[in-house]
Amino acid sequence: EIITIYNVEKTFGDRSLVEVELVTGRTHQIRVHFSHRGTPVAGDAVYGNPKKTYGLEGQCLHAAVLGFIHPITKEYLEFSSDLPDYFKEFLRRIK
């Protein structure tokens, strides 16, 4: 079973900014689940519409926070990262 939990943070017309939590983890899980719902990730030419990449340099899919238990030290590690500039610019344009 593959589980993806999401919450719509903001809506911009027919697009939404969502926060996603992966309960399980599989390759391309977020992209596949959202594409299956008919709401592909903006800029995803594989699981979305390759003709609708919105001129993006990449997909609007970003891990703001990643955390895991180190397999050797058993220490919990957490890393955070700001949105890439192209993602910020896309949000500015659709507002």
- Full 3-state SS string of 59-87: CCCCCCEEEEECCCCCCEEEEECCCCHHH
Confidence of residue 9 (pLDDT cuts 50, 70, 90): very high
4-23: b (≥16 Cβ within 10 Å) or e = bebeeeeeeeeeeeeeeeee
φ, ψ for residue 59, nearest 5 deg: -80, 150
Q: What value does the mean pLDDT of the chain take? A: 92
At 2, the amino acid letter reads I
Instruction: Supply the DSSP symbol for 31.
Output: H
Q: For 32-77, what is each residue's pLDDT tens digit?
A: 999 999 999 999 999 998 888 888 888 999 999 999 999 999 999 9
pLDDT at residue 27 tops 90: no
State how far the Cα of 6 lies from the Cα of 43, in Å rounded to an integer. Answer: 19
